Amino acid sequence: MKGAIPLSTAFVSLLASILGSNATPLSARGPQTVNPYLDADQYVSPVYTDQVVAAAATIRANGNNALADKALLLAEVPTFLWIDRIAAVTSIGGYLLDARTKQAQSARKQVVNIEVYNLPDRDCSAKASSGELDISQAGLARYEAYIKAIGSQIESYPDVTIVIGLETDSVGNLVSNQSVPKCANAAEAHINGSAFAVAWLSQYANVSIYLDGAHAAWLGWPDNLGPTADILAEIVNRAKVINPAATVRGVATNVSNYNGLGTSTNFGYDELDYVRNLAPLLTARGLPAHFIVDQGRSGQQDYPRSGGDWCNNKQAGFGPRPSSITPDPLIDAIVWVKPGGQGDGTSDETAERFDEACGSETSLKPAPEAGAWFQEYFEQLLENANPPF
């Protein structure tokens, strides 16, 4: 750490290039005080576009031209790029270059949305998305190297606005799943890993970080709100120990879930209530109260659902489209973090990552591994889309 003395951008870049990406973090080049989504287009993930084009071709081959035409409209909807393993990190530079080109062509700012998702002992209370890093095998050190590698990809693109959604479900598990041994064992590593990510990545003035806020039906209950704000503050405070200028922009909610945003008729399942209730508790702890809310699969609200129905829910449909027009100034943008059509977890009971939630009555089956393309689920989301395509 080089201290909190303000440094000019040019000097910081020079220093960074001399020190290289293995240097200790420098001071943030600017606070995350601006809504990154204002006057901008969200970058359309080429990964998702390719998946959607292939899915539409399958639908057409099966003879449903009307649905195939609708499917193709999804190819233009921005979703997050999931950097869910070390091997995915090197793809980031290509996306940023592509966004830079689009920006030059359109004269519109592009926001590249990235989900950083690789904590050691990830998804500790479920099995479906357990990852490649293991705490008992130097997982935290490897995670820090992964974060630095992400920084190396980012540092050549100071002209491209980047949003980072950090480690979906990690705060949810820290707040409410400490009775699960894997989560209790992982707690320190999850707080420290997240703090490191915040400290390191908030060096870049073009990066806005949103911490995990799980969702309304998980952390939105009165007993969980205070502890959620406490954990979020702990992450940022530990980040400041590493880098005194570390900052976040806010909190991401409803990632990969199905709750509405001012639209749910199901008490406790609405993100608008949740963010309004959490905001003052964040402010009281000196944290910024800004949110992004995933609405990618939140089109259908009028069916009974429990908090445990997170896996390939059978009644879900695509929801309100990504936009910086939101129902409350607390919310920077509506986003689609989970690319709808990528699975939540396998229904194969013999698979190592089989989780009971994915074999339940409320889940569409048979389902592939988490992250893999799930054609039938994509078609379900499309048929149930609200607003429709």
Residues in contact with ligand BGC by the rule CB under 6 A: 82, 84, 129, 338-339, 342, 344, 370-371
- If the CB atoms of residues 12 and 52 are measured against ligand BGC, the closer one turns out to be 52
With the CA atoms of 324, 79, 81 and 199 taken in that order, what torsion angle do they form, in degrees rounded to the nearest 10? 20
For residue 109, list its beta bridge partners: 40
Residue 303: CB minimum distance to ligand BGC, A: 22
Give the DSSP letter string of 3-51.
-S----HHHHHHHHHHH-TTSPPPPPSS---S-TTTTEEEPPPHHHHHH
Examine the residue annotation and report whether 309 is marked as an active-site residue of this protein: no
| 257 annotated to bind ligand | yes
Examine the residue annotation and report whether 348 is marked as an active-site residue of this protein: no
Report how far residue 300's alpha carbon sits from residue 302's, in angstroms, rounded to the nearest whole number: 6
- Continuous H helices in the chain: 9-19, 46-61, 65-73, 92-106, 139-154, 170-176, 181-201, 216-219, 222-242, 271-284, 375-383
| 82 annotated to bind ligand | yes
| 218 annotated to bind ligand | yes
Which of 121, 169, 273, 332 is flagged as catalytic?
Answer: 169
- If the CB atoms of residues 221 and 373 are measured against ligand BGC, the closer one turns out to be 373
Residue 85: CB minimum distance to ligand BGC, A: 8
DSSP conformation class of 322: P
- If the CB atoms of residues 320 and 339 are measured against ligand BGC, the closer one turns out to be 339
Residue 337: CB minimum distance to ligand BGC, A: 8
Taking alpha carbons only, the member of 25, 333, 187, 307 closest to residue 15 is 25
| 121 annotated to bind ligand | no
- If the CB atoms of residues 133 and 278 are measured against ligand BGC, the closer one turns out to be 133
Residue 10: CB minimum distance to ligand BGC, A: 37
| 338 annotated to bind ligand | yes
Annotated binding site: 82, 84, 215, 218, 257, 310, 338
Active site residues: 169, 344
Annotated binding site for substrate: 82, 84, 215, 218, 257, 310, 338
